[in-house]
Structure 1
Amino acid sequence: MAHQKAATGETAPAEQPILIVGSGSTGLALGQGLKKAGVPCIVFEKQASEARERDWNMGLHWGAPVLKSLMPDEWWSKIQSLQVDPHVPTKEEDTLSFIHGKTGEALAAFTFGPFYRLRRSKLRALLSQDLDIRYDKRLSNITYSDDGKTVTAHFTDGTSETGSFLVGADGARSTTRSLLLGPEQGAIHRLPYAATFVHSKFTTEQALYLRKFHPLYLATAHPDNNFGFFGMQDAADPNDPSSWTFFFYISWHSSLQEQEETKDWTDAQRLQQQKELAKKFCDPWKSAYEWTPDDAPVWYLGLTDWDPGMEGHRWDNHSGRVTLVGDACHPMTYQRGQGLNHSITDAGKLRDALVEVSKGGDRKEIVTKFEEEVIQRAGDEVRSGTANTMMLHDWEKVMQSPFFTKGMKKNQE
């Protein structure tokens, strides 16, 4: 059980590292922030190596100053190299167009910036540098010393590590969250929406045609109650359009029953379903799916969320020795592009809190205050994001969705 006690006699918290569970963008950004502040930490990752099967891209905008503060000062100059197209300079302001999925007419345009479209794999590769990362470490239990000073992470390989603090940064289906709250309250909340993501390259002529709609990203809503996104994933060689990889999807209302009935579908079946949906869309979706090879790599996800502000979801931080950040704390739907910004903000605020603790501050008081801010800020975004997803898949309500009323700005703005 997560609440059983570990043996006493550990060394003082100041001599113990911070334990970070999960080497996604949030955990690594926190690790860099702690290292920069001179606070020792160890990152634990359940995957056996740095390699990951899936790669996608994420929007960073209002969270950018926090990421900059977490990294070594000289690293910020590398941010351009992490983008889906490192050859297109980031503008101080850019425009995200939202178009009618059937006719192609413009429904709205949001101007904001600077806006970074980062490849997840590149961001993780940069943030992994110079950190103590232990791979093939799958968390199985958490125990706490009787003296209130230390916490121990136990792993499925039989090893363990003791630290002064443990951070669950282990994603939407967080083991840390389940250990803190139990398998029922800590379980991810499934939503009746799904999407299949496609990566594909095209001929030079096709790639140039598809990219003319917007060099980086484009969103749409369709009267059939579907939502779509189209953008770049990798433009390594600006002079060879046939080498570019595009990233696109159509999401739709999918009951939990339908999700269960199709859980064993093959990638080819998933792609074929997307191709059928795309036949009713305007370009670039219609042509992109038509030109996509039937064996193109895809992955399917049912949409999920977890609201940290919901009754019964408040975890015990064990006298300020354990907490949650990022998707482990507030997994949200992605149609409004807020997830990375909130997660990086968590990392920055927790860095500040742990530095304050290291200087002798009241650990429980400081950590509890940190959690309350995260739960209020990001919990509000979880609820707003799910409402946004529902409205974007309901043609009668699309224009009232937070995507249209707030654009990409933070909720409080």
Structure 2
Amino acid sequence: MVLQLCAVVPSGLSSLQTLNMANERDGDHTINSRADELPVLIIGSGSTGLALAQGLRKASVKCVVFEKHTPAIGERDWTMGCHWGAPVLKSLMPDDWWSRLQNVHADPHVAPKELDTLTFVQGDNGKTIAAFPVPKFYRLRRSKLRELLSQELDIRYEKRLANVTFAEDETSVTAHFSDGTTTTGSMLVGADGARSTTRQCLLAPQLGSVNRIPYCATFVEGKFSKEQALYLRSFHPLYLATAHPENLFGFFATQAVEDPEDPTSWTFKFYISWQSSLDEQEATAHWTDAQRLAQQKEFAKKFCDPWKSAYEWMPDDTPVWYMGMTEWDPGVEGHRWNNHNGLITLVGDAAHPMTCQRGQGLNHSLTDAGQVRDALVKIRDGADRKQVITEYEDGMIERTGGEVRDCTKNTSLLHDWEKVKQSLFYAKGMTKNH
């Protein structure tokens, strides 16, 4: 029996016919279908998928990465905190690449401090609520990290996953793409983000879709005059967090320093988040960028600097990025997927999308990538595939399920002024929790 997971099957293509073919053709690439020569298929070329692919390349395990978008040009960018996950990232990258990570940093001209401090201030008056020590805190630009990790990999773009099927003898898995092409591999790893198609293939949309929660944020990015940029960055060279007595939360970060001698080249990214019911999110779904920014500017009038001034100085036609917050807990009953004898699994946001206020997502995702790399090396060396992949999933679900729940609770507490000091962010900053 050939098992078909997703409802969408490429038109004119039988899953059974596909799996009975001696070879699989994907564009101009022909991949031999012998099980011992098949590559690992990685769905998604975000930071997690690319880090895993580099780890497999380093371990001489053949893999192919599939990305639904075209090679990114002018993609939306943001920075990510890499702290306790940094050693895993180093282990996945070629040994001589670690020195390049400095070029990925928000400010590539200044090395991360051995011990930095993340300051948490009261939003209306700027008084320090708490100051957290953060050792070797890498604030990485997502676009630059992906650019680095994409090198020397087999990445196939404009490949949107539509369906997954398995061979009758459970020795291979086939990915079907919306353009009608297929590729067969020894295993498939879903690294396709919070709204993972792979996860929905495994669990169906009812169980596999992200859970929306009643909190929102609108992100704003911009450059400023020399005097303005110097003033804004004087609060902290990289990042600053705030909670406001009117149940608002905010973050301010240096996004990119192109020229350290030219403050007008510096890019900042900041947001204010708030509690917003799902009904309110639906009612404002049609809002324009101008409306989103106007709402943020009204919030910012109640804030101290740098938020107050930064929002005042932003032109009213500035593009913004609005986000209704979501999560998905892999530890919830009914969320455990069938890995089909170890042929398919999930990593990163595909397995455990969580809220962002504690900066844990990238670190857990890199941990997943390192553990799956280790699992695939064991399988190559003769270990039982189902046992090894199931052990990875058991540990990952215990580790990240708790983190998802903690992060969602943390988000709720950070937007309730009377309970801010009960939050994990207040108690532990960004340090490892599990």
Same fold (TM over 0.5): yes
> Contact conserved, 2:19 with 2:174, CA < 8 A, in 1?
no
- CA displacement at 1:46 relative to structure 2: 0.3
> Contact conserved, 2:132 with 2:428, CA < 8 A, in 1?
no
- In the TM superposition, what are the counterparts of 1:201-350 in structure 2 within 5 Å? 201-350=223-372
> Which residue matches 1:24?
46
Q: C-alpha separation between the residues in 2 aligned to 1:354 and 1:294?
A: 51
- In the TM superposition, what are the counterparts of 1:156-167 in structure 2 within 5 Å? 156-167=178-189
**Gapped runs of 5+ residues in structure 2?**
7-14, 23-32
Q: C-alpha separation between the residues in 2 aligned to 1:225 and 1:242?
A: 33
Give the number of equivalent residue pairs: 412
2:132 maps to 1:132: no
Q: Deviations over 1:113-157 (max 9, x none)?
A: 110000000000000000000000000000000011000000000
Is 302-311 or 46-55 further displaced after alignment?
Answer: 46-55
> Which residue matches 1:15?
37
Q: Deviations over 1:159-210 (max 9, x none)?
A: 0000000000000000000000001000110010000000011110011111
Q: C-alpha separation between the residues in 1 aligned to 2:64 and 2:98?
A: 23
- In the TM superposition, what are the counterparts of 1:127-206 in structure 2 within 5 Å? 127-206=149-228
2:62 maps to 1:40: yes
- In the TM superposition, what are the counterparts of 1:82-97 in structure 2 within 5 Å? 82-97=104-119
Q: C-alpha separation between the residues in 2 aligned to 1:397 and 1:328?
A: 31
- In the TM superposition, what are the counterparts of 1:50-89 in structure 2 within 5 Å? 50-51=72-73, 53-89=75-111
Q: C-alpha separation between the residues in 2 aligned to 1:198 and 1:167?
A: 33
- CA displacement at 1:8 relative to structure 2: 4.5
For residue 390 of structure 1, what is the amino acid of its counterpart?
S
- CA displacement at 1:50 relative to structure 2: 2.9
For residue 198 of structure 2, what is the amino acid of its counterpart?
T
2:5 maps to 1:2: yes
Q: C-alpha separation between the residues in 2 aligned to 1:69 and 1:49?
A: 26
Counterpart secondary structure, 1:317:
coil
- CA displacement at 1:296 relative to structure 2: 1.6
> Which residue matches 1:119?
141
- CA displacement at 1:411 relative to structure 2: 1.1
- CA displacement at 1:87 relative to structure 2: 1.2
Change (3 A) 1:52 1:241: closer
Aligned-residue sequence identity (percent) comes to: 66
- CA displacement at 1:406 relative to structure 2: 1.8
Counterpart secondary structure, 1:39:
coil
Q: C-alpha separation between the residues in 1 aligned to 2:309 and 2:19?
A: 63
> Contact conserved, 1:200 with 1:297, CA < 8 A, in 2?
no
> Which residue matches 1:402?
424
- CA displacement at 1:243 relative to structure 2: 1.2
> Contact conserved, 1:154 with 1:161, CA < 8 A, in 2?
yes
Q: Deviations over 1:365-385 (max 9, x none)?
A: 000000011101111110000
- CA displacement at 1:297 relative to structure 2: 2.2
- How does the TM-score come out when normalised to structure 2? 0.93
Q: CA RMSD in A?
A: 1.1
Is 152-161 or 1-10 further displaced after alignment?
Answer: 1-10
Counterpart secondary structure, 1:7:
helix
> Contact conserved, 1:31 with 1:41, CA < 8 A, in 2?
yes
- In the TM superposition, what are the counterparts of 1:93-112 in structure 2 within 5 Å? 93-112=115-134
For residue 76 of structure 2, what is the amino acid of its counterpart?
R
Q: C-alpha separation between the residues in 1 aligned to 2:84 and 2:424?
A: 17
> Which residue matches 2:28?
none
> Contact conserved, 1:31 with 1:43, CA < 8 A, in 2?
yes
For residue 248 of structure 1, what is the amino acid of its counterpart?
F
Counterpart secondary structure, 2:42:
strand
> Contact conserved, 1:250 with 1:274, CA < 8 A, in 2?
yes
Change (3 A) 1:302 1:343: same
For residue 360 of structure 1, what is the amino acid of its counterpart?
G
> Contact conserved, 1:8 with 1:146, CA < 8 A, in 2?
no
Q: C-alpha separation between the residues in 2 aligned to 1:65 and 1:407?
A: 20
For residue 355 of structure 2, what is the amino acid of its counterpart?
T
For residue 209 of structure 1, what is the amino acid of its counterpart?
Y
Q: C-alpha separation between the residues in 1 aligned to 2:303 and 2:233?
A: 17
> Contact conserved, 1:332 with 1:386, CA < 8 A, in 2?
yes
Q: C-alpha separation between the residues in 2 aligned to 1:210 and 1:364?
A: 53
Q: C-alpha separation between the residues in 2 aligned to 1:12 and 1:161?
A: 13
- CA displacement at 1:13 relative to structure 2: 2.5
Q: C-alpha separation between the residues in 1 aligned to 2:21 and 2:260?
A: 59
- CA displacement at 1:53 relative to structure 2: 2.8
- CA displacement at 1:52 relative to structure 2: 5.2
> Contact conserved, 1:331 with 1:382, CA < 8 A, in 2?
yes
